[in-house]
């Protein structure tokens, strides 16, 4: 599957499965940096139609309309040099270890994010709790540490660094925080899913970086559902 097909499939899946497809369309339009006016012009529609879809005032678009919207995203991006396509290309070149990655259509306060996943904050520095989360990446900690080099590490951040990096398969928790500590790009929140234990060094490193280090013991599938549901709004 080429990059255009892979990205189109990802967007189509998110839109059609979302309980609020209009918000998901708006999210992807924002990611591509396309105005409602430009999208409407490409689709030969009134800008008010796009606005109504995104706000939920108009019935959710059918499959054919969704297909045309996605084609518009891709073709407009190609005309602008394929910036988003190239970024997605770099993301999927090394997928091993990345279990799920999602951008949220709006910002979520870090404290609310942590509460929704039943997280326990291990760090004492509270500055990071005032930040916002714009997405999440769920990774298998062992595979990620073994397969991603420092250059590949950017792929964990999707389209925004203001995100939660959620590590599952944690043994002691030292290696993931060391990797985050030495990399110039930092997430908003780091979550350890059911760690065997948490090394005190990991907590100290997180405190130094003003990054809340959080532990959640939810079952993995339950955690995934909650992470995705956070992006669906109220």
In tens, the pLDDT along 104-145 reads 878 899 999 999 999 999 999 888 899 999 889 888 876 665
Query: Does 200 score more than 90 pLDDT?
Result: yes
Q: Alpha-carbon distance 72 to 46, whole Å?
A: 15
Structure tokens at 21: 């497809």
Structure tokens at 2: 């080429």
**156-216-205-113 Cα dihedral, nearest 10 degrees:** 70
- Reported as a single tens digit per residue, the pLDDT across 41-93 is 999 999 999 999 999 898 888 889 999 999 999 999 999 898 888 777 655 55
205 contact partners, CB below 8 Å, separation of at least 6:
177, 178, 180, 181
- Could you tell me how many residues make up the chain? 234
2 pLDDT above the threshold of 80: no
Q: Which among 189, 192, 203, 199 is positioned nearest to 142, based on CA atoms? A: 192
In angstroms, the CA 157 to CA 169 distance is 19
Percent of the chain having pLDDT more than 70?
Answer: 86
pLDDT of residue 158: 63
pLDDT band of 94, cuts 50, 70, 90:
very low
- pLDDT tens by residue, 25-39: 998 999 899 999 999
CB 188 within 8 A of CB 163: yes
- Domains delineated in the chain: 3-88 (1.10.260.40), 95-230 (3.40.1390.20)
pTM score of the predicted model: 0.64
DSSP 122: -
């Amino acid at each position: 599957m080429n990059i255009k097909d892979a990205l189109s499939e990802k967007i189509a899946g998110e839109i059609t499965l979302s309980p609020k497809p209009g918000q998901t369309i708006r999210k992807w339009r924002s990611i591509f940096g396309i105005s409602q006016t430009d999208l409407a012009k490409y689709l030969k529609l009134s800008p008010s139609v796009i606005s109504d879809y995104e706000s939920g005032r108009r019935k959710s678009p059918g499959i054919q309309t969704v297909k045309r919207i996605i084609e518009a995203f891709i073709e407009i991006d190609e005309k602008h040099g394929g910036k988003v396509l190239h970024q997605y290309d770099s993301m999927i070149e090394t997928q091993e270890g990345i279990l799920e990655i999602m951008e949220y259509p709006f910002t979520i306060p870090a404290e609310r994010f942590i509460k929704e996943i039943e997280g326990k904050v291990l760090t004492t520095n509270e500055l990071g709790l005032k930040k916002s989360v714009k997405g999440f990446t769920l990774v298998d900690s062992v595979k990620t540490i073994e397969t991603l080099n420092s250059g590949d590490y950017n792929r964990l951040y999707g389209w925004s660094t203001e995100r939660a990096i959620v590590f599952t398969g944690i043994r002691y928790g030292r290696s993931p925080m060391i990797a985050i500590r030495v990399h110039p790009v930092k997430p908003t929140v780091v979550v350890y899913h059911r760690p065997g234990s948490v090394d005190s060094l990991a907590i100290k490193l997180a405190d130094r970086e003003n990054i809340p280090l959080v532990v959640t013991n939810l079952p993995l599938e339950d955690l995934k559902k909650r992470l995705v549901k956070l992006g669906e709004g109220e």
